[in-house]
Amino acid sequence: MVDFLGWLNIFLILFAIALYPVKKASMIFLRKNIIKSIKWIKYYRIMSTLHPYVGGLIVLVGCLHSYLAMGGFKLHSGSFILGTVILMGMIAILGRKIKGFNKSWRLTHKILGVFVFAFIINHLL
């Protein structure tokens, strides 16, 4: 069960990360007037709607995975992943509300995504 939850979380994280390339692809197709842009824009809208819920699910599955694997909540390499994902969620929520932060929160969110990816590699090795 622990392995399943870990791989489920990796799948969910990859789904959440895929939002950015899907957005970029839809914009490229849109600029070049390629008919595929309509399909990519639909994918992007669906994924952007699901993105916050997937983030919450990542936190829940990560907590359950950690609890079952360690027999409680203990500091380990997965804690860095979980903490960074929670920080990303807080930045997304507060970034829209704090006036001075509303322009730069997306960049911070993306940079933390790179850290999540690096922490996952470290966690798996």
Check residue 61 and give its pLDDT: 95
In the block, residue with structure tokens 């819920």: 53
Sequence-separated (6 or more) residues with CB below 8 Å from residue 79: 66
Check residue 32 and give its pLDDT: 74
Q: Is the Cα torsion angle 19, 111, 72, 1 positive or negative in sign?
A: positive
Check residue 2 and give its pLDDT: 87
Check residue 15 and give its pLDDT: 92
Check residue 36 and give its pLDDT: 66
Sequence-separated (6 or more) residues with CB below 8 Å from residue 121: none
- Cα–Cα distance between 37 and 62 in angstroms, integer? 34
Range of the structural domain that residue 54 is part of: 2-124
Q: Which residues of 16-53 are buried (b: 16+ CB within 10 A; e: fewer)?
A: beebeebbebbeebeeeeeeebeebbeebeebeeeeee
Check residue 73 and give its pLDDT: 80
User: What's the average pLDDT block by block, 10 residues per block, for the chain (125 residues)?
Assistant: 92 91 81 72 88 94 91 84 93 84 85 93 90
How many structural domains does the chain have? Answer: 1
Helix 2-17 with 36-70: angle, nearest 10 deg: 150
pTM metric for this prediction: 0.84
